[in-house]
Structure 1
Amino acid sequence: MSESSSERLKAAVLALYQARPVEGPPGDGGQRSVWHLSPQGAELLSFVDSEGKVQRQELTLLGEHCVWMSGVGLRTGRVEQDGAARAAASVVHPDAEPVPARLLRAALALEGYQGEDRYIQHIQRVLALARQGLVLAGGASAAAPAPAAPSVSATQAHAPAPSAVPSPPTPIRLPEIPLVDPVMLRRQKTEGLTMLIVLGLGLVLGVALLLWLI
C-alpha cells in the first residue's frame, strides 16, 4: 500500500471511530441495523438480533470489503461506489475465497482501537482472531504470493514451433536442482511433514478460536 493510501486509510479509520452510530428501526424478529459511516471511505454496518447480539457485520475500508456472519465466518470482496459515502448503486464483488491480504489490512487498520463502541470492538476481535489464525497457518507470508513458475511440461506444450514464429520468445529457465544425499533427503521429508502438521494444528486452533467467538 502506498504512503498516500496508508494516510487515507488512517484518516478513514479515525473518522470511523468518531462517527456516531445510526440505528435503524426494528425489522422482522426484532432485528435492527447499526450503521457507522466515515465520509473518508470507511463504513461499518452491523445487524443485531432482538437481544442485541451481533449476527452480521460488513466493514468497508477504501473499497475493500470484509463480511462476518455468525455461524458462517469471514468473507472478503471489493466495493464499487461513487465517492466516499455509501450509495444505493454501490456494488459488492465478493472474492471466490477470502483473500488473506484484505483480512490482514483490515485487522491492522483496526488493531489500535481502544474505544468503548461494542460494534467496533466486535469486528476488531473477529479480525484479530482471523489474523492470528493466518499467522499460525503461515497465511501471512501468502498475503502476496510470488507467481509460480510454469512446469517444464506446460512450457514445452505451449511453446510455438520454430517454423511458425521467426523469433520465438526466450523460454523460462527453471533453476537446476542439486543432487541430494539420500539420508539428507529423507531427513528433509521428515522435517517437511512435521512443518505441515504444525501448520495444520495452527489452522485448526485459529478456526476453533474464531468459532468460540461466534
Structure 2
Amino acid sequence: MGRHPETEQRIREAAFRALVEHGYADLSIKDIGDELGQNPSLIYHYFDSKDDLLLSMLDVFVEIFLDQRTEKPITDPETELREFVGQILHPKPAQVEQVMFAPPSDIETAVSRIFVELWAHATWDPDFRRKTTLVEDRLRETVTRILRAGIELEQFRPVDPELTADHILFLLKQGIHTGTTTNRDAAVDRVQTIVDGIITDISRE
C-alpha cells in the first residue's frame, strides 16, 4: 500500500482534533481513527506510534505560525511584530485553514490546549523536549529577525534583540499557559497589552 501525502495530512488533522478533545494522557490511536473515520490500522501505515504522530503534528504548527513568514521581506517591523504577537495569542481559523483542511471550530482554545498538553509532556519525554526546543528556537529566531529589522530601519531603539525576543516569548508562553490552566480568562489579553507596551517602549516614535 502506497503512502499518500493527503492521507497523512488528514491523519495529523484528526490527531489535532482528537488531542483537543481527549488530552494527551487519554488519547489513543483508536480515538484518532474514530476522528478520522478510518480503521486505526491505517494510521500505523504512516506513523509508528501516537508519539510519532504528535511529534509530526508539531511540524504543522511551525508551518502555520512560522514558515509563512520566513521568506517574507520585513518592511514595517513594528506592525509585523504586533501582528505576530496577535497571531500567536489569538490564532484565527483562516490562518490555520491555510495548512489544515478541517481544523477544530474554536482554533484559539484548540491551539492553547495543544501547546499546554505537548509542552507538559516534554517534561518527561526527551523526544518531545527536542522538538519543543526546536519550535521555540524558531519562534525566537522569528521575533529576533523582526527586531533586528526594526533596529536597522531605525523604527526601534537599539535594544538587545535576542534578550528582548526572550522577554516577549516568555510573556507569550506564560499568557497562553495561564489562560489555559486557570480561570483567569483575561490572561491572554492582559499579556497582549503588556507586549504591546514593550513594543511601544522600544519604538522610536
Relative to the length of structure 1, the TM-score reads 0.30
Q: Which has the larger strand fraction?
A: 1
Q: Work out which structure has the larger RCO, using CA pairs closer than 8 Å and 6 or more positions apart in sequence.
A: 2
Q: Which has the larger helix fraction?
A: 2
**Structure whose CA Rg is larger:** 1
